[in-house]
Structure 1
Amino acid sequence: MTVTAEIDDGGLARVTLRRGEAGNAIGLETAHGLLDAARACERASVRAVLLTAEGKSFCVGGDLREFSLLSGEALEKHLIAVTEALHEALRTFAALDAPMVAAVQGAVAGAGIGLAAAADVTLAADSASFTAAYTGIGYSPDAGVSWFLPRLLGPKRALDLLLTNRRTSAAEVAALGLVSRVVPAGHLPEEAARTAEVLRRGPTAAFGATRRLVAAGLTSPLGPHLDREARALAAAAASDEGREGVAAFLGKRAPDFTRAASGT
């Protein structure tokens, strides 16, 4: 299997790219593997998702060796099949209440940038490097890269990376806003797992509402967005999670959102 999804009893999903020997390049099988993983998370109503990759590199982008075996109309149909599966995986992950943490190392290129950008919290090893790569081979972006980068970096900086394909360090992309934090390479797995566990124990429904508000706020006028915030806050306050959070605060104890979610 090129992608696995392991979901523990506490609701933490560990989604792992397992083509380390190929730089975790995304071909048709891997795209469908990501979609299967996303749907498994959806069915299980997970509380947090941790996306990692085996090998030296997180993801070097599309599987060019696979693509090079085809040409013309056959290649076009193949790439549409790959991107349809990959994009549906991204849509499914984005629709979850559960937040996603991504841990990226080594080379991050093409669709790998899209996967990194799609996560809510992205941790990068200090030795990681990032390259858009698409136009360098005559391709245009996929995996949401042309949607995420302008929103995270601004259009000018996004186009700088997309058109020049210059290699950027983890420190630079963190300063630009593509990743959340840079950590020493040797501590990346531990820090990513710790962050995912913190989110797993959090208020999943409130996380989902927050993710949707932030996404909507990027394109919504202020007035309608304030109305959306008010409705979301009222619903959160009336929920089991909201009641548990307030009771814990007033009682000067740590909230147990996992118990509130189970209704016990």
Structure 2
Amino acid sequence: MKPEFWSSEQVMECSPMARLMFIGLWNFCDDAGNHVASAKTIKAEIFPGDDISSADVQRMLDELSSNSLIAFYTNDSKDYLHVTGWKKHQKIDKPTYKHPPYSDDARRGLDESSPPEGNGREGNGEEEKLSSLRSDSSDAGGVDLLGDGAGQGERPDLKTRKTDRIRQIAEDARGAYNATLAKPHGLLPACTVLNKPRLKAVEKALPTVRQLCQRLFRSERVTPQFWALYFETAADDDFHSGRQPGGPGHENWQPDFEYLLREAVIAKLADRALSEVVA
């Protein structure tokens, strides 16, 4: 591993524990860079003595996937993962293959992460809890494990699909924000342009958003319904809706689209609302 690995843009987007797990995966993948996509198995292999749950591991896997460091795929109804850029950086004299080969045809959709193990239900009614918030590669990712050009091997078609999907999620978020919180419906400034910083803000929020979608809808796919419920939640809060001014020296400050996309803000509003429902 070259030192440049740590400054790779894809790696820097991940949390420190996700980076550690990513490196750990290299020890347990077969010689084609493939591994079963089982959070329980990976937890036992990489974190056998740590207070880290299978759910934590699944969240880190989704984080790696969202940054194109791994790609999920399915073979014979079983889920696997593939470490991106594997062939480019691993030189193995006599390779052996334990798992089915990765292919674009077998790859799961960008937002089709596996449900938690042992849980195949399609819903648990907690979408009502969120509405009460008012009262979620090989050639696909091209990670540069050795630091000689991170991401340069990414296939244009898959890269375009990911970019288009993020833009669609951002469009859904913008529409819900403008319809609920922006003038003339609310007090906040409208989001009129989805520029690069705003698209990046949406992308960075996805790990938290997907967790919420998984809890509420039993699917990590981010839908317009989630954004409508989330911004309705913000509209019911005096501070996040702009009805309550900022603190001393910041009396004229108001939340905006990018601020409300911060993971910490999303988590705080969700925690508060879901706690109120449980209480």
Which has more helix, going by share of residues? 1
Q: TM-score, normalised by structure 2?
A: 0.28
Higher Rg of the two aligned structures: 2
Would you tell me which structure has more strand in proportion to its own residues? Answer: 1
**Higher RCO (CA < 8 A, seq sep 6+):** 2
TM-score w.r.t. length of structure 1 = 0.29
